[in-house]
Structure formats: C-alpha cells, structure tokens
Structure 1
Amino acid sequence: MSLQEELDTVQHRLNDLLRCVSRLEQQVGGSLDMRRVRADATRLGESMALLRESAPKEAARERPEMVTIPDAPYDPKMWAGERDDEGLGSPYRHAP
C-alpha cells in the first residue's frame, strides 16, 4: 500500500472510532472515564490531521517530470558529420 492509502485507511478507522465513542457516550453518559476516552480520541484525530499535513505528497514524489518531444523533424544540420544513421547501418554496408 502507498503512504496515501495507509493514511486514508487510518483516517477511515479513526472516523469509525469517533462514531463509536459518540454512541457509547450516549449510552454511558458523561462520566470522568468517558470524558477521558473522548479527549483521547479527539487528540488522536488532531494528531492524525497533523501527520497528513506533514506527510510527503505522493504525486510530487512518484511522478517524473514530463518532457515534451516535438513532432517537427529535427534540423538536418544537427546530424552533419555523423557516419552512421541509426537503423540504416554503415554507409559502407559492412558491419564494424
């Protein structure tokens, strides 16, 4: 899995945890222990947000820079003085 996929998975699980904590809080009430669980889950969510912001961006890291190659033919002067043409072989028709 890529880093971004891992972060997305953790975020999804964290969202599930926060929903479960809310449902549990409705059943148990606002006891000291429940407030502590709520605070821990909230702090975990804040830490995850900071981690997502500081993680390297995958697109910039994995995608190489695009190089455009023109469709126009190259200037023949660029090949002046070359003895072999690629694909055509030696001008003397024998292997080196």
Structure 2
Amino acid sequence: MALHDELASAQRCLDELHRYVKRLEQQLGSGGLEMRRVRVDTDRLRESLALLRDADPALAQSKRTDLVSIPDTPYDNTLWTDSDDEGLGAHHGPGH
C-alpha cells in the first residue's frame, strides 16, 4: 500500500476513534480525569498525523490533487455567446 493510502487509512481510523470517544463522553460525562485524558490524547493523535502529512513536501503536494486552480481574471465574454439564457432573466428588461 502506498504511503498516501496508509495515511488516509490512519486518518479514517482516527476519525472513527474520535466518534467513539465522543459517544463515550456522552455516556460517561466529560468531567472525569480519565475521559478528559482520552479526549486530549485522541485530539493529539489527529494533530500529529496532520503534522506528519504536512512535514513531507511530497505528501503535502499530493494531499489535494483534486483541486483545480481558477484564475481571478475575468472570463472572455465570447465564451458565452452560444449559450442559452434560460433562467438568467431577460437581457432587455420586461416586455421585450
């Protein structure tokens, strides 16, 4: 299994652990030292895994490969000349 897959699997496990800890906290209450310690340790594990991912440049780059950069420059208006205006309202105001 690739490193990226291993980290994703570890993240899913930690997310599941976090859900179980929240359920335990609801049943046992959050005031006890033991429960607070488990919650803090769980949060620390999640933070540590995030730091591990961010520490490796190759992992940081491959972390979100599904993102696409969109420029801030305006679009070329000629891109829209052949499109329908359905649902956009009238161009010339009411009655035209």
TM-score category, normalised to shorter length: 0.5 to 0.7
Deviating beyond 4 angstroms after TM superposition, the runs of 4 or more aligned structure 1 residues are: none
The amino acid that maps onto 1:13 is C
Unpaired segments ≥5 residues, structure 2: 63-96
Cα deviation for residue 2 of structure 1 reads: 0.4
Which residue is 1:3 aligned to?
3
Give RMSD over aligned pairs.
1.7
Which residue is 2:94 aligned to?
none
TM-score normalized by the length of structure 1: 0.58
Cα deviation for residue 55 of structure 1 reads: 2.6
Give distance in 2, aligned partners of 1:55 and 1:20: 29
Q: Percent identity?
A: 52
Query: Higher relative CO (CA 8 A, sep ≥ 6), structure 1 or 2?
Result: 2
Give distance in 2, aligned partners of 1:29 and 1:20: 13
Which residue is 1:57 aligned to?
58
1:9-88 alignment runs, 5 A limit: 9-30=9-30, 31-57=32-58
Q: State the aligned residue count.
A: 60
Give distance in 2, aligned partners of 1:9 and 1:55: 17
Give distance in 1, aligned partners of 2:23 and 2:11: 19
Q: Which has the higher Rg, Structure 1 or Structure 2? A: 1
The amino acid that maps onto 2:38 is V
